[in-house]
Amino acid sequence: MKKRRVIGIDPGLAHTGFGIIDFINGKMKLVSYGVIETSPDDSHELRLLSLYNRLDAVLNEFQPSEAEMETLYFARNISSAMAVSEAKGVATLAVARRGIPLNYYTPNQIKSAVTGTQSSNKETVQLYVKLLLNLKAVPEPDHAADALAGAITHIHSTQNLSAGIRQENDA
């Protein structure tokens, strides 16, 4: 019985969502999820340091073997994009320092893997996360649900790849 523990990360300067899922014997099981918040009253560099330290504590506590993060896809608000990029860099550093493989997926890949269609809205993705993980309620806040959706996407994507390799070897 091989257990995979995947962390999904939804980076942001104000709110960074994380979601941790175990994948054992073909089944996903929720481990934990939450949001790391930083205060707008703190200096920019202290917010980034806080994000790093708190994400590092999550990685230390849950010891994931794989990580996922959504690719950036917007550029309308340059200052917002820069803050998300910096948070993404901090999260990448935290994961890399622990030697955890990090995988990236586009928003459309995540929507498609979780709901079956790229045109799903945020509420639909959250509902499917609830259903796929057999939860009693939709995970809140949305940053945590997005991180869980990313972790689910990584599990689905790598399972499809593994299944294809096994099928080729069996032929």
Q: What is the set of active-site residues?
A: 10, 70, 143
Distance of CA 21 to the CA centre of its chain: 10
34 in helix, strand or coil? strand
Place of tokens 């504590």: 57
**Residue 53: half-sphere exposure toward Cβ, Cα within 13 Å:** 8
Q: How far apart are CA 104 and CA 107, in angstroms?
A: 10
User: CA of 8: how far to CAs of 3, 30, 143, 152, 155, in Å?
Assistant: 16, 12, 10, 8, 10
